[in-house]
């Protein structure tokens, strides 16, 4: 008598032939490996904050060499796989060159992340120390991984940068595309639900609150009805802008001028000049004692 599990397994195997594109037998990128890489990158960026214990100053050099070696070993293979996705005959040396430039950029990324921590400390009255921000603010992990992924994105490495930012997205609820160009002193307060699209350009000292969307308008389609890829689709946010919760700003031609403030719950598809305040006036809000409300309802009945 045939094992019923064998019969089920055979049906699944048959589906691999009929439902194509959902299995990986060609050595494409690994989500599990990518998770290990991202965790190690955070350890390199913030030594001692993502470990089980403190790192002694005397062992920091040895620890750093070990971490860099681990990342290099894993990431070179994943970069090579990414390159082979578009160019099957890509040489491993191409991946090595990209890896070297990427790792060499880490000190500069750390300098920018320092400004992000400073911005969070200055912009959040609840923050009591830089250490608290590094240990507990979800935006920092997200922007750290995004800034690294952006380096690979600019080198036109396919898939891998997006996997990195989606890994961070799954941990924080903050969705920042690796293509977004984001200046220093960036802060997302609370963070959950923020979406920043691929072609966004964000200046210095920009502050966003939760559930802000910097997105695209309707997409252009070709004669066959397929979405046209590429092009500037997402807004630009210039220096010193603050955007409050639940606001949505759309469009590749939309520019939010310097030092502007976008109030909560704003829906915007047009540019605003520098030093603007954008908000909805409250015209329906009413506050009254519950007892009066009860008497009012009884009158209607």
Q: What is the mean pLDDT of the chain?
A: 90
What is the reported pLDDT for 52? 73
Task: Give the chain's radius of gyration (CA, Å).
Answer: 24
Domains of the chain: 26-172 (1.10.3130.10), 180-301 (2.160.10.10)
Cα dihedral sign, 90-92-95-97: negative
- Greatest CA separation found in the chain? 82
Tell me how far the alpha carbon of residue 253 is from its chain's centroid.
22
Measured in residues, the chain has a length of 301
pLDDT digits (tens, 9 = 90+) for 110-165: 999 999 999 999 999 999 999 999 999 999 999 999 999 999 999 999 999 999 99
Can you tell me the distance from the alpha carbon of 218 to that of 216, in angstroms, rounded to the nearest whole number?
A: 7
Instruction: Report how far apart, in Å, the C-alpha atoms of 225 and of each of 153, 216, 220, 230 are.
Output: 28, 18, 9, 16
What is the reported pLDDT for 255? 98
Structure confidence at residue 2 as a pLDDT band (50, 70, 90): low
Structure confidence at residue 297 as a pLDDT band (50, 70, 90): low
What is the reported pLDDT for 284? 72
Are the beta carbons of 149 and 179 closer than 8 angstroms? no
pLDDT digits (tens, 9 = 90+) for 41-72: 999 999 988 877 778 778 889 999 999 999 99
Q: Which two tokens stand for residue 16?
A: 């691999």
Find residue 227's DSSP bridge partners: 221
pLDDT score of 298 more than 60: no
Least confident of 48-62, 121-135, 169-183, 217-231: 217-231
Residue 100 host element (H or E) = helix 92-104
């Amino acid at each position: 008598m045939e094992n019923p599990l064998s019969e089920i397994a055979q049906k699944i195997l048959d589906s691999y032939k009929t439902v194509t594109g959902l299995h990986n037998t060609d050595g494409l990128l690994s989500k599990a490996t990518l998770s290990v890489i991202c965790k190690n990158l955070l350890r390199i960026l913030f030594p001692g904050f993502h470990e089980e214990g403190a790192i002694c100053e005397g062992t920091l050099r040895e620890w750093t060499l070990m971490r860099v070696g681990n990342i290099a070993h894993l990431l070179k293979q994943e970069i090579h796989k990414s390159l082979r996705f578009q160019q099957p005959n890509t040489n491993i040396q191409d991946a090595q060159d990209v890896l070297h430039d990427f790792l060499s950029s880490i000190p500069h990324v750390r300098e920018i992340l320092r400004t992000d921590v400073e911005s969070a400390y200055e912009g959040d009255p609840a923050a009591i120390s830089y250490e608290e921000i590094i240990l507990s603010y979800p935006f920092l992990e997200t922007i750290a991984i995004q800034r690294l992924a952006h380096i690979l994105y600019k080198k036109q490495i396919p898939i891998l940068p997006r996997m990195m930012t989606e890994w961070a997205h799954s941990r924080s609820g903050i969705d920042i595309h690796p293509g977004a160009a984001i200046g220093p002193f960036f802060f997302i307060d609370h963070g959950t639900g923020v979406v920043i699209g691929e072609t966004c350009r964000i200046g210095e000292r920009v502050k966003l609150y939760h559930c802000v969307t910097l997105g695209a308008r309707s997409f252009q389609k070709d004669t066959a009805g397929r979405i046209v890829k590429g092009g500037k689709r997402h807004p630009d946010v210039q220096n010193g802008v603050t955007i409050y919760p639940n606001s949505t700003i759309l469009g590749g031609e939309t520019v939010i001028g310097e030092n502007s403030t976008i109030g909560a719950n704003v829906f915007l598809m047009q540019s605003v000049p520098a030093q603007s305040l954008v908000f909805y006036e409250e015209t329906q809000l009413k506050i009254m004692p519950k007892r009066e409300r009860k008497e009012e309802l009884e009158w209607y009945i």
